[in-house]
């Protein structure tokens, strides 16, 4: 690759691409890149420097010109073709710095090489050096590409070794699309052609630090940089103002240079040169010139309006171009910083926010994506005279010295890279994407910032921390005991005291605190420049998942103390008693290095073994999998090879690579569809609407009939070829959207060419028990696949699941970690009841890049790299595989309620059985009677006996069934189950409440009226939920069964569906009740709650509101915007992807995952509860959406104009309910409802996010709370 093509390939990249040189103390962990024109240099050694005869001394005594490099005044360049270099002969080493201006007139490159030796000619391909830093300008002057390299010998061959991910400083984006976006904001193009760019290379004992344009651009770790240095100049580049200076000495403080980010100035103050002021022992550097203020008025989430749905998000790659005031960013060396000191003030304006957020971590969209938020409220100009402000008189005026504690310790998470980024921005809030909620993350949102910054200084912790256990994932299997080591490295020249407190919390809430009173080493000191290790045993009272926090007090400036916290998790498992793992059906997805996941089999392998997982480790070698008892978890897809003219090539190569495959399986299709329109519908057999007609089109790219004919033909040809090559192979048909499978079966796909119908349910945030006809739901899609087979004449074919299923995620605003754990077990019961042979749910770990915030990337049972520490789901998985070890013949037991589940299995031990029990929503008391007097043992999903277990004499046991499954092991079958009446007290939601509609005091019609006509929106808008108008009997009844009994009798509205002749049982019935008089909601409430007496019939309440502008809001999901959802991109052929984006009809449909995807309005319980459904809203200022907006349809601008008014509700009641594999009516089809409330709460997402220490109710401190953390 020549320099020009290298530059062109880099030009489209972003400013904050990770430089993962992975070089620690001189040791590289890199891919090998022989650079063009460089691979012939001799191996550098200690030979003396020899100058050629043509070397020319320049004006400075120690500067020598080599080759055809010429000097004109203080500028070095070329007037004729050839090569050349500037040699700096004076001694260089730690403490020194080489500075120069780089001037590019087009494509140009400079190499800086320290420690050159041997015969030096000025030719970069032949001169010897150990290290190299390359800077290349593209021909347009839009970017600088940076390369760090080391001369290495691998396999007896010496060459320059480069990082595969090169650093690019983008001054102006190269892509037309990006340029158009900037032009729309009237941002003028930027070019650095012929502009002197300051470059500074600092020598440190263990690294070279490269500064470009005043900002740290790259750190090249290594050793022995001393000796002369050569600056190799290529045509198109010039050097000027070359000088040797002094490197900034490492110390307790790091001044952040804001010169290039400065976009305003304080009053009329202008400094002729940079100045330093001190406050409380902290030095601050003030920027010189006309611009000496970083004004955050423009700082924001640039893509807030688009709210992109892509797998990767541009935001996670950092600013679009250097010094972008919309996303101000700086880069600093990776370290544990204890605080940031800021000289600033905030304007006193109610239309701005005084909150400053520093987002520290890694902005590398495809590499490591990690952001920790540290936020404070900066004193306003009106508060500078107050008692709480620390005011500093500076040449720029009075400014507040504000401390931003960096309380969360995360340096060890960035150990693979030498630098990290800090975004300087406004308030940060949780943002769940809308309309399709397929991205969950934190973003700068809300009012524009009123903060005006003069200087930022980072304070390094005097003790650098590392917390480790030496055990992969911190998963301890008894008799192994939990044990951690805290390593404290003193980076100062004085003794540093410390005090440590260790806090642990079990998932159930049991907590323990350890101090120096129990472990003496938790308090002490570390000698200057030394490292000390403190080992402690956090202990455990019971099995399961634990959160762990290590709090350490260290010294700060002027006698201050800093509190730092390192958070992690660990798990304690019982001894491995599994004897039948070789027959286990359980597995997980494994990216094996993709999306910044682990590529080390010895890191993930032990975690597979301890969890009892049989399938996974996709791309690892068979011998690596065999070491840990794992089989390859993925399967080949039959694809026609144009090169080989064969359908069997992909399958053959898969079996050649994966020699440990015990069962030959291949997929006929995987994530394939006919078109975007075709896939956005429920299969015809589940509704009474006209069947879908495949459309012909003059444009072959949009011809559905032709597309399906080709698809069917290739499937048949491919299946025949593979069956002929592998007669015993099992072929799974479909493995994608149900509408595609229906067309294949309707077309009479040859039965002899497939062995099962392949299911690929994504699930996402849905409950495992989600009902038909939602074919993304886990249990519902399995049942619907079965119905397709039966309806179209394939009753002998089973339903199986491919290797890509079930993604319940724990990213911000999605499922709680414990909920994910519960769901995995409950999902598995659906697969087991259908006899699915391989069940590969979720992922072995969350991924580490921007994909983590998608609907797939946080579905791991472990947290992200580099720790891969346990989630609650890991323990749940391990408990499930242990309790079901060798279990067979699952059967659903009758419990008396469609929300209480009990699935009994036969265990390998004769006469022994295990039963999995759970309740869908809340808790229920359940009594079990056994066929014989057998002592039963009960284990919950965390491996412990539930506290609620009560033994009631011979052969009888009772417990509280909850959303967390438990397992009952007994040497007798369960003869009967009795679910007791609901006993949970009816409690109003927390928060400020407004009664919108009271319990009826008389006839229900005094408040309500039934809308007698059909509602086309309810029947057609939600493409996966085609409803039909029901015939409901409505009456006022006494509200019985409320606990505790209310002091006065209450009435309720009872709704009972009558049988109707139209539609199919998979089409829910509805009836809309409008209020006679709408009711106004005061203020800006966060949710609406309704009192419900449920029947576990999976009915639902839909709310309808109107805002002050007349806009109607209905809780049936936000409409599509015409863009293509990520899974449509997976499913659709490329030639048809524009069909969905351009079809106006599509925009009239609800988007994916918007129709109450989390089941918040579902009546999946018995007895009285409040359904508490989040309301829509917008953050002030930028009007970004609240998390719930995706679940609401609106008919105008999508902005809530207060006040809201409640106008009515819709009651949705299914005719039948699916319970695992049984589809039937509930005993009592009626539901009752009472009062409706508006609820106003201080929700977490309303508060600015901050991991800074100190209690402040104005901030969301979740990052520091000792609870299972989201995958942030």
Note if the pTM is more than 0.85. yes
Q: What is residue 420's DSSP assignment?
A: E
Rounded Cα gap, residues 887 and 907, in angstroms: 5
The pLDDT of residue 285: 97
Q: What are phi and psi of 883, to 5 degrees?
A: -70, -30
Residue 18 predicted with pLDDT over 80: no
The model's pLDDT over 320-363, given as tens digits with 9 standing for 90+, comes to: 999 999 999 999 999 999 999 999 999 999 999 999 999 999 99
What residue has token string 């809780």? 1115
pLDDT at 676: 86
How many CB atoms neighbour CB 1226 within 10 A?
21
Candidates 841, 732, 866; CA nearest to 789 is 732
The residues, ordered by sequence, that sit 6+ positions from 673 with a Cβ below 8 Å of its Cβ are: 679, 736, 737, 739, 740, 1128, 1131, 1132
Q: What is the pLDDT of residues 399-439, one digit of tens each?
A: 999 999 999 999 999 988 899 999 999 999 999 999 999 99
For residues 311 and 369, the answer to whether their CB atoms sit within 8 Å is no
**What's the pLDDT tens digit per position in 625-650?**
999 999 999 999 999 999 999 999 99
List, in sequence order, every beta strand (DSSP E) within 84-163. Answer: 84-88, 96-104, 108-114, 131-137, 143-154, 157-162
Of residues 224 and 1130, which shows the higher confidence score? 224
Q: What is the DSSP letter of 946?
A: -
Helix (H) or strand (E) holding 400: strand 397-405
pLDDT band at 1135 (very low <50, low <70, confident <90, very high): low
DSSP for residue 804: S
- Residue 39's pLDDT is 36
**Number of alpha carbons in the 13 Å side-chain half-sphere of residue 217:** 29
Whole-number mean pLDDT of the chain? 92
pLDDT band at 1260 (very low <50, low <70, confident <90, very high): confident
Both ends of the chain: CA-CA distance in Å? 38
Does residue 3 surpass a pLDDT of 70? no
pLDDT at 186: 94
The H or E element containing residue 1100 is: strand 1099-1106
Non-local (6+) Cβ contacts of 422 within 8 A are: 256, 329, 330, 331, 332, 358, 359, 360
Phi, psi angles (nearest 5°) of residue 605: -55, -50
Instruction: Check residue 1138 and give its pLDDT.
Output: 53
In 554-644, where does DSSP find H-type helix?
601-611, 622-627
User: pLDDT per residue over 445-477, tens digit each?
Assistant: 999 999 999 999 999 999 999 999 999 999 999
Report, as an integer, the average pLDDT of 1004-1032: 95
**140-189 pLDDT tens trace:** 999 999 999 999 888 888 888 886 667 899 999 999 999 999 999 999 99
Contact, 72 vs 241, CB < 8 A? no
Angle at which helix 601-611 crosses helix 872-883, to 10 degrees, equals 50
The span from the CA of 582 to the CA of 590, in Å, is 19
User: pLDDT by residue (tens digit) across 586-619?
Assistant: 999 999 999 999 999 999 999 999 999 999 999 9
Contacts of 113 (CB under 8 A, 6+ apart): 124, 127, 129, 131, 132, 133, 229, 230, 231, 232
Of 122-126, 484-488, 595-599, 1139-1143, which gets the smallest average pLDDT? 1139-1143
- The pLDDT, as a whole number, for residue 49 is 84
Give the integer Cα–Cα distance in Å for 40 and 21.
22
Residue entry with tokens 């992922």:
843
Percent of the chain at pLDDT exceeding 90: 83
Match 């917008």 to its residue by tokens.
Answer: 1178
What pLDDT is stored for residue 161 in this prediction? Answer: 86
- The phi, psi pair for 298, rounded to 5°, reads -95, -5
Cα distance between residue 732 and residue 725, in whole Å: 16
Establish how many alpha carbons lie within 13 A of residue 847's alpha carbon, considering only the half-sphere containing its beta carbon. 26
Strand partners, 997: 1236
Which phi and psi angles does 728 have, rounded to 5°? Answer: -95, 10
The pLDDT, as a whole number, for residue 1124 is 62
Take residue 367 and report the two structure tokens written for it. Answer: 């590499």
Greater confidence, 52 or 749?
749
Phi, psi of 451 (to 5 degrees): -85, 135
- Neighbouring CB atoms inside 10 A of 935's CB total 13
How many angstroms separate the CA atoms of 76 and 243, rounded?
A: 13
Q: Which pLDDT value is given to residue 5?
A: 35
Query: Hey, what are 908's tokens?
Result: 């390998």
Half-sphere exposure for 1181 (CA within 13 Å, toward CB): 21
Domains of the chain, each with CATH number or no CATH: 3-249 (2.60.120.560), 275-460 (no CATH), 469-573 (2.70.50.60), 585-886 (3.20.20.80), 900-979 (2.60.40), 992-1118+1154-1240 (2.60.120.260)
Residue 261 neighbours by CB under 8 Å, 6+ apart: 294, 323, 325, 328, 330, 424
Place of tokens 């880069």: 331
Tens-digit pLDDT profile for residues 647-697: 999 999 999 999 999 899 999 999 999 988 899 999 999 999 999 999 999
Residue 282's pLDDT band, with cuts at 50, 70 and 90, is very high
Residues 6+ apart with CB under 8 A from 739: 673, 674, 678, 679, 681, 682, 683, 692
CA distances from 577 to 571, 632, 965 (A): 17, 23, 20
């Amino acid at each position: 690759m020549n320099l020009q093509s290298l530059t062109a390939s880099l030009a489209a990249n972003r400013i904050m691409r990770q430089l993962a040189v992975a070089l620690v103390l001189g040791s590289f962990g890199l891919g090998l890149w022989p650079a063009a024109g460089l691979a012939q240099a001799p191996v550098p050694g200690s030979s003396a420097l020899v100058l050629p005869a043509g070397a020319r001394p320049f004006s400075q005594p120690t500067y020598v010109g080599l080759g055809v490099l010429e000097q004109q005044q203080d500028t070095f360049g070329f007037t004729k073709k050839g090569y050349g270099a500037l040699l700096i002969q004076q001694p260089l080493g730690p403490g020194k710095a080489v500075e120069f201006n780089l001037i590019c007139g087009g494509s140009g490159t400079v190499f800086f090489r320290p420690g050159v030796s041997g015969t030096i000619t000025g030719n970069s391909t032949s001169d010897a050096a150990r290290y190299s830093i390359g800077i290349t300008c593209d021909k347009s002057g839009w970017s600088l590409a940076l390369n760090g390299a080391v001369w290495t010998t691998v396999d007896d061959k010496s060459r320059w070794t480069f990082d595969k991910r090169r650093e690019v400083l983008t001054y102006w984006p190269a892509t037309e699309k990006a340029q158009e976006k900037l032009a729309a904001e009237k941002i003028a193009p930027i070019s650095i052609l012929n502009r002197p760019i300051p470059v500074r290379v600092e020598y440190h004992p263990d690294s070279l630090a490269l500064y470009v344009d005043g900002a740290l651009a790259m750190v090249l770790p290594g050793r022995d940089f001393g000796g002369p240095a050569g600056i190799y100049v290529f045509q198109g580049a010039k050097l000027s103002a070359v000088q040797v200076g002094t490197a900034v000495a490492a110390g307790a403080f790091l001044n952040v240079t804001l010169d290039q980010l400065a976009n305003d100035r304080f009053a009329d103050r202008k400094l002729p040169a940079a100045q330093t002021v001190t406050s409380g022992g902290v030095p601050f550097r003030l920027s010189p010139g006309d611009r000496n203020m970083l004004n955050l008025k423009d700082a924001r989430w640039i893509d807030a309006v688009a709210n992109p749905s892509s797998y990767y998000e541009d935001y996670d790659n950092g600013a679009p171009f250097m010094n972008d005031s919309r996303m101000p960013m700086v880069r600093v060396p990776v370290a544990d910083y204890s605080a940031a000191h800021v000289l600033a003030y905030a304007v006193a304006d109610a239309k701005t926010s005084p909150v400053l957020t520093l987002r520290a971590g890694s902005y590398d969209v495809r590499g490591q994506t990690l952001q920790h938020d540290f936020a404070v409220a900066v004193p306003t100009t009106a508060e500078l005279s107050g008692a709480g402000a620390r005011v500093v008189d500076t040449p720029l005026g009075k400014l507040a010295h504000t401390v931003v504690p960096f309380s969360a310790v995360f340096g060890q998470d960035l150990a693979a890279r030498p630098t990290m980024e800090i975004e300087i921005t406004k308030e940060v809030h949780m943002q769940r994407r809308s309309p399709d909620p397929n991205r969950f993350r934190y973003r700068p949102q809300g009012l524009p910032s009123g903060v005006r910054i003069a200087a930022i200084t980072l304070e390094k912790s005097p003790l650098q921390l590392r917390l480790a256990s030496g055990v992969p994932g911190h998963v301890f299997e008894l008799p192994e005991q939990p044990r951690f080591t805290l390593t404290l490295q003193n980076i100062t020249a004085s003794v540093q005291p410390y005090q440590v407190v260790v806090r642990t919390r079990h998932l159930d809430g049991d907590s323990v605190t350890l101090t120096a009173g129990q472990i003496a080493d938790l308090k002490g000191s570390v000698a200057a420049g030394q490292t000390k290790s403190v080992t402690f045993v956090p202990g455990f009272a019971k099995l399961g998942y634990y959160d762990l926090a290590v709090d350490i007090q260290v010294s700060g400036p002027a006698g201050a103390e800093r509190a730092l916290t390192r958070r992690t998790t660990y798990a304690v498992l019982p001894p491995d008693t599994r004897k039948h793992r070789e027959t286990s059906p359980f597995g997980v997805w494994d990216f094996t290095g993709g999306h910044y996941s682990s590529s080390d089999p010895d890191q993930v392998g032990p975690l597979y073994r301890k969890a009892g997982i049989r399938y996974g480790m996709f791309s690892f070698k068979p011998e690596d999998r065999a070491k840990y008892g794992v089989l390859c978890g993925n399967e080949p897809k039959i694809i026609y090879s144009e090169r080989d003219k064969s359908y069997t090539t992909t399958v053959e190569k898969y079996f050649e690579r994966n020699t440990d495959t015990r069962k030959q399986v291949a997929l006929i299709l995987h994530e394939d569809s006919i078109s975007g329109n075709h896939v956005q519908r429920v299969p015809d057999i589940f509704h009474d609407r006209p069947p879908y007609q495949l459309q012909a089109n003059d444009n072959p790219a949009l011809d559905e009939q032709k597309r399906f004919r080709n698809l069917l033909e290739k499937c048949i040809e491919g299946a025949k070829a593979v069956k002929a090559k592998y007669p015993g192979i099992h072929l799974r048909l479909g493995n994608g959207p149900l509408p595609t499978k229906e067309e294949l079966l309707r077309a009479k796909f040859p039965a002899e060419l497939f062995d099962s119908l392949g299911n690929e349910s994504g699930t996402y945030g849905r409950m495992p028990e989600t009902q038909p006809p939602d074919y993304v739901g886990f249990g519902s899609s399995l049942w619907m696949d079965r119905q397709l087979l039966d309806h179209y004449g394939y009753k002998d074919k089973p339903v199986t699941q491919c290797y890509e299923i079930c993604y319940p995620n724990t990213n911000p605003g999605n499922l709680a970690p414990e909920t994910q754990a519960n769901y995995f077990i409950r999902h598995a019961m659906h697969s087991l009841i259908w006899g699915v042979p391989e069940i590969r749910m979720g992922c072995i770990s969350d991924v580490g890049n921007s994909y983590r915030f998608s609907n797939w990337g946080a579905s791991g049972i472990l947290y992200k790299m580099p720790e891969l520490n346990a989630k609650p789901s890991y323990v749940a998985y391990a408990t499930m595989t242990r309790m079901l070890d060798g279990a067979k013949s699952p059967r659903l037991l009758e419990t008396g309620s469609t929300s209480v589940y009990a699935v009994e299995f036969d265990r390998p031990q004769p006469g022994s059985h295990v039963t999995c029990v759970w309740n869908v929503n809340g808790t229920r008391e359940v009594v079990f009677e056994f066929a014989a007097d057998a002592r039963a043992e009960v284990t919950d999903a965390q491996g412990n006996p539930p506290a609620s277990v009560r033994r009631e004499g011979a052969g009888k046991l009772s417990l509280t069934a909850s959303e967390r499954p438990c397992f009952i092991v007994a040497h007798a079958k369960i003869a009967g189950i009795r679910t007791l009446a609901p006993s949970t007290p009816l409690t109003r939601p927390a928060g400020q409440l407004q009664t919108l509609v009271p319990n009826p005091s008389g006839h229900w019609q005094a408040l309500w009226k039934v809308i007698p006509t059909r509602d086309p929106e309810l029947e057609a808008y939600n493409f996966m939920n085609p409803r039909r108008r029901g015939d409901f009997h409505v009456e006022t009844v006494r509200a019985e069964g409320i606990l505790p009994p209310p002091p006065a009798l209450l009435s309720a509205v009872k709704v009972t569906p009558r049988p109707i002749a139209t539609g199919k049982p998979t089409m829910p019935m509805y009836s809309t009740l409008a209020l006679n008089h709408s009711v106004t909601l005061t203020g800006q409430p966060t949710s609406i709650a309704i009192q419900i007496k449920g029947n576990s019939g999976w009915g639902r309440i839909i709310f309808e509101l109107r805002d002050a502008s007349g806009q109607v809001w209905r809780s049936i999901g936000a409409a599509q915007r015409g863009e293509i959802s990520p899974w449509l991109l997976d499913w659709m052929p490329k030639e048809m992807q524009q069909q969905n984006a351009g079809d106006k009809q599509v925009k009239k449909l609800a988007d994916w995952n918007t129709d109450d995807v989390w089941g918040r309005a579902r009546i999946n319980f018995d007895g009285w509860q409040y359904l508490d459904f989040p309301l829509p809203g917008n953050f002030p200022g930028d009007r970004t959406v609240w998390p719930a907006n995706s679940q609401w349809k609106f008919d105008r601008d999508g902005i809530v104009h207060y006040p809201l008014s409640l106008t009515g509700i819709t009651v949705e009641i299914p005719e039948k309910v699916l319970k695992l594999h049984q589809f039937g009516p509930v005993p009592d089809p009626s539901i009752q409802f009472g009062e409706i409330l508006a609820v106003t709460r201080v929700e977490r997402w309303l508060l600015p996010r901050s991991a800074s220490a100190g209690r402040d109710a104005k901030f969301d401190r979740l990052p520091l709370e000792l609870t299972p953390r989201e995958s942030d």
